[in-house]
Structure 1
Amino acid sequence: MSQPPTLLADARCFALLPCAGSGSRAGTAAPKQYQPVAGVPMVRHTLAAFAAVSRIARVLVVVAPGDGVLAADASISVAACGGATRAESVFNGLAALRAQGVRDDDWVLVHDAARCLITPAQIDALIDACLPDAVGGLLALPLPDTLKSESGGRVVATIDRDHKWLAQTPQMFRLGLLHDALAARAATGFAGITDEASAVEAAGFQPLLVRGSAQNIKVTYPEDFALAEAVLRSRTT
């Protein structure tokens, strides 16, 4: 296994939100991250959660080139360097953070803009768990349901769910480690890289699993919007 970089006591925490996707599965005319949920664009709820965490020095939102939706808000740091895939957007965003003076030993929390139900408490819990860790880690949940594999639309096997977790975000790693892990897969178009942890795993590390929340869903399908709105409204009553 590769050796993680040395921990530095003065390492800072930054957040990186890939926000360049089209959200085709959501069935919306515009990118889903800008669709209203509980009265405001979904990404605004995500940004509000990170803004409430004092240990986050800055949040960088990675959008597609030409996307000016957030550009008019001077309080939001935006980099129009989104790529064709989520992994490419994150890779480009890490380069943008470097260019802005973020150090390789600083921590970066990568979070899906469409996980708008994340809470400051969950972000803080991840930071608390990862700061003393040699590698970093991610929010996740133990798999609660029976898992099936299929072929041609029919079940071919039931898979043992023991020791299996559903990955969530944020996922927290040092900038240099994550950048190098993604760079090692860039020539393949980031094949097989479905999240930051998978890149770090491919580099020979074992990320820490930090228990998340069942409410921290990624809004993906049309019915998810109603669920997200109900949860958000319940938090204000």
Structure 2
Amino acid sequence: MSNSLGPYTVVMPAAGVGKRMRASCPKQYLTIKDKTILEHTVQRLLSHEAICHVVIALGEFDEYFPTTSLVSNNRVTCVIGGKERVDSVLAGLQSLHAEQEQWVLVHDAARPCVQHKDLTKLMTYCINNNHGGILAAPVRDTMKQATLRGIVDKTLDRSQMWHALTPQMYKTAELTAAIVDALAKGITITDESSAMEASGYASGLVSGSSDNIKVTQPEDLRLAEFILQQQEREFHLEAL
């Protein structure tokens, strides 16, 4: 790895309740092999040599985090998140020292399968190009635009369409200012890239692995478990 990479902080919004999972607890606290998704995700990030710190934005009345192993990890700090994802990201960003931590990554708590090679690829791209970027995957399926009645309106050209993934990496001061500005203007922010776009900043598309799934639906939990098992098996084979 280039000496120019890191150490970096990751901001992780984790204040959501995950209603689509239809579970008894927020999705980040569902377990895979006796560890919560949140623990899997944080440990995956902190095991990358360029990541030194994870800031987790929790719900104000989160009763689950204190039961995890992360509570005693001195490389993890917590802030109180907000109602929407963007509010939690902003809370995490405002806890940082932008002059000392010039770059920041933002990663979904429910993406435990992100690979180290993709993290390195994103970091290298951003540093080499001196602007932010996101992990993304090219759209493979035929894409349809629907009418309000749920009828196909037209078929879209997928050749320039990408699925936005995380992490997304930007200069800390620029991302913070872009989010504050977007919120003040009432612009809907669905990810960090959308805030940066609204402020006119460049966002590079860095092709990442499609197994970097987000656990959103109940069936995603089984898929994430399978992917983690496969990744662990591949890691052990490479180590032989």
Q: Shared fold (TM-score greater than 0.5)?
A: yes
Pairs aligned (count): 225
Residue 197 of structure 2 aligns to which amino acid in structure 1?
E
Q: Tell me the alpha carbon deviations over residues 163-208 of structure 1, each in whole angstroms, 9 at most, x when there is no partner.
A: 111100000001100000001012245x321100111111101201
Residue of structure 1 in register with 2:123 after alignment: 127
Residue 72 of structure 2 aligns to which amino acid in structure 1?
A
Whose helix proportion is higher, 1 or 2? 2
Residue of structure 1 in register with 2:12 after alignment: 17
Identify the match of residue 34 of structure 1 among 29, 32, 43. Answer: 29
Report if aligned partners of 1:104, 1:174 keep a CA contact under 8 Å in 2.
Answer: no
Q: In structure 2, what is the Cα distance between the partners aligned to 1:105 and 1:45? A: 24
Residue of structure 2 in register with 1:74 after alignment: 72
Taking every aligned residue pair, what percent have the same amino acid on both sides? 36
Residue of structure 1 in register with 2:237 after alignment: none
Q: In structure 2, what is the Cα distance between the partners aligned to 1:30 and 1:105? A: 33
Report if aligned partners of 2:144, 2:152 keep a CA contact under 8 Å in 1.
Answer: yes
2:64 is paired with a residue whose SS is coil
**Residue 104 of structure 1, CA deviation:** 6.6
1:223 and 2:219 matched: yes
Identify the match of residue 45 of structure 1 among 15, 40, 45. Answer: 40
- TM-score (ref. length: structure 2): 0.88
CA RMSD of aligned residues (A): 1.8
Relative to 1, partners in 2 of residues 1:142 and 1:57: Cα closer, same or farther, differing over 3 Å?
same
Identify the match of residue 179 of structure 1 among 171, 176, 179. Answer: 176
- TM-score (ref. length: structure 1): 0.89
Q: In structure 2, what is the Cα distance between the partners aligned to 1:124 and 1:34? A: 27
Q: In structure 2, what is the Cα distance between the partners aligned to 1:203 and 1:42? A: 33
Of structures 1 and 2, the one with the larger relative CO (CA 8 A, separation 6+) is 1
Relative to 1, partners in 2 of residues 1:48 and 1:10: Cα closer, same or farther, differing over 3 Å?
closer
Identify the match of residue 112 of structure 1 among 108, 111, 120. Answer: 108
